[in-house]
Chains A and B, each alone.
Chain A
Amino acid sequence: MPVTERSDRELMREIAAGDERALDVLFRRHHGLAYAFSVRFTGDPALSEDITQEAFLRIFRGAATFDGQGRFTTWMYRIVRNTCIDHWRGDERRRRAVEGWREREIPPDSESSGVGATRPDPGMLARLEEAMSRLDRRQREVLVLSRYHDLSYAEIADVTGATPGAVKARAHRAMAALRKAFYAPQTEEAKP
């Protein structure tokens, strides 16, 4: 079977044996997810290119520790997250992360989601970005991993090192905080 058609687990076995070609295939298959998660986590697109590459180097180095029990992507998100945290510790980067969430461009032709959905209002999406930027980092990562990466509470717990119960509680608090941040300004504006 060509290397490009092998499963993630097969590729990981080959990477553990030092096969750089398998690493290359795995990078091409999953770098988009890793990059998107990193940008949403750090708010810094340029830094996220470095983070994505460094995370896959860590995957290369730690391939032997992948037990093959869960999905490879869940393990990958854990490594990307750890790499983000390592790169994100300084106050300067924290500031840029928050600003990054606020400054990211909202494309005018974003894909609509769901039947009957209308063209998104750029102003509304900007307000939503702003609301997301106000969330506590742990709350935001739960929403990001759930909404954009389709991870269950149990999988998010695996990525973040928290218990599933803690992840559930964070998701509840995150949505409550997001609703408050998103809807509150409209309420204020509506006041005479």
Chain B
Amino acid sequence: MTEAEDRVSCETAEGLIVDLMTGNLEGPERARLHDHLAGCPGCRESHAATSALWRELGRLASPAAAEDLPDRFTRLVGRGRGVRLASTPRRRFHRVALALAAGLLLGFWGGWGLSRPAGGHGEGVAAAQGDVGETEYLLLLREGPGWTIPDSTTEAALVAEYTAWARELARAGALVAAEKLVDDGGRLVGSPAGAARVATPEAERVSGFFLVRARDYGQAVGLALRSPHVRHGGAVEIRAIDHGGER
């Protein structure tokens, strides 16, 4: 590299100053920047201003989590009972509960070797419904107008309800998959007013789904009726998966 090529332009120096501030400038590049700064008053001024700004950025308050957040998380995953997320609106913590149920469910399955248990049915679902069938049904958990949670419901209790239902389904061998959906309402695409449009659905949003095995609609309805979602005013839409065979 010639001496001319080795020279740093003021424009390049601006970028190198940022790299220096952020700890991403090493070795020869660092030396080239310092050489440039030594001979360029304008860039020295720029360096001083950027350094001051970087320093002040470090003074901005660091957001601190509530002291009890770890304890709340502990309760969420099942150790301890009975304290509600004080700052969380009810609708949102209902969703957290659903997410937790789905999360624990996968952990539960992991413990079972990602397979349905042979024999041993759960005491709830299977005992009430008899053996599950092979038809798959999609249970869409909707937030209907009656979507409320009683005042006495605590976060841990709600989580326990969802988790217990999910585990019942898993133990009975009825569960195929479950997921909570992102809380943004998703997108609705279509042409209800005559012109194709994309919108965010407002009414009866789907907050999650369970894919289950059942003998028929009757048994699938029985599974859905046991869900905390129905107990708390939500609606569950049940749709059979069409695999092309007869039901």
Asked whether, in the complex, the Cβ of A89 is within 8 Å of the Cβ of B65, the reply is no
Secondary structure at the B interface, as helix, strand, loop or mixed, is helix
8 smallest CB-CB distances across A and B, nearest first, come from: A39-B63, A35-B65, A57-B103, A113-B58, A89-B184, A86-B182, A172-B15, A146-B22
Asked whether, in the complex, the Cβ of A143 is within 8 Å of the Cβ of B69, the reply is no
Q: Could you tell me which A residues sit within 8 Å of B by CB distance? A: 17-18, 20, 23-24, 27-28, 31-32, 35-36, 39-40, 45-46, 48-50, 52-54, 56-58, 60-61, 86-87, 89-90, 104-107, 110-114, 117, 120, 124-125, 128-129, 132, 143, 146-148, 150, 152-153, 168, 171-172, 175-176, 178-179, 182-183
Interface residues of B, count at CB 8 A:
52
CA distance A175 to B19 in the complex (A): 10
Residue of B nearest to A90 (CB): B184
Asked whether, in the complex, the Cβ of B110 is within 8 Å of the Cβ of A18, the reply is yes
A49 surroundings in chain B (CB, below 8 A): 65-66, 69, 85, 87-88
**Among A50, A107, A110, A179, residue most surrounded by chain B Cβ atoms (within 10 Å):** A50
A24 surroundings in chain B (CB, below 8 A): 70, 73-74, 77, 79
CA distance A92 to B100 in the complex (A): 25
B216 at interface (Cβ–Cβ under 8 A)? no
CA distance A54 to B110 in the complex (A): 19
Asked whether, in the complex, the Cβ of B103 is within 8 Å of the Cβ of A60, the reply is yes
Asked whether, in the complex, the Cβ of A171 is within 8 Å of the Cβ of B18, the reply is yes
A27 surroundings in chain B (CB, below 8 A): 70, 73-74
Asked whether, in the complex, the Cβ of B100 is within 8 Å of the Cβ of A57, the reply is yes
One of B46-54, B127-135, B234-242 at the interface: B46-54
How many A-B residue contacts, CB cutoff 8 Å? 147
What are 27 inter-chain pairs, A to B, with CB distance below 8 A? A18-B107, A20-B78, A20-B79, A24-B73, A24-B79, A27-B70, A36-B62, A49-B65, A49-B88, A53-B72, A56-B73, A60-B106, A60-B107, A111-B59, A113-B58, A113-B59, A120-B56, A125-B59, A125-B60, A129-B60, A132-B57, A146-B23, A150-B23, A168-B15, A171-B19, A171-B24, A172-B14
A17 surroundings in chain B (CB, below 8 A): 110
CA distance A178 to B58 in the complex (A): 14
B21 at interface (Cβ–Cβ under 8 A)? yes
CA distance A52 to B69 in the complex (A): 9
Asked whether, in the complex, the Cβ of A143 is within 8 Å of the Cβ of B57, the reply is yes
Residue of B nearest to A85 (CB): B182
CA distance A134 to B132 in the complex (A): 56
B200 at interface (Cβ–Cβ under 8 A)? yes
0/1 string, B167-211, CB within 8 A of A gives 1: 000000000000000111100000000000000100000000000
A150 surroundings in chain B (CB, below 8 A): 23
Partner of B99 from A57, A117, A129, A175 at Cβ < 8 Å: A57
Asked whether, in the complex, the Cβ of B49 is within 8 Å of the Cβ of A183, the reply is yes
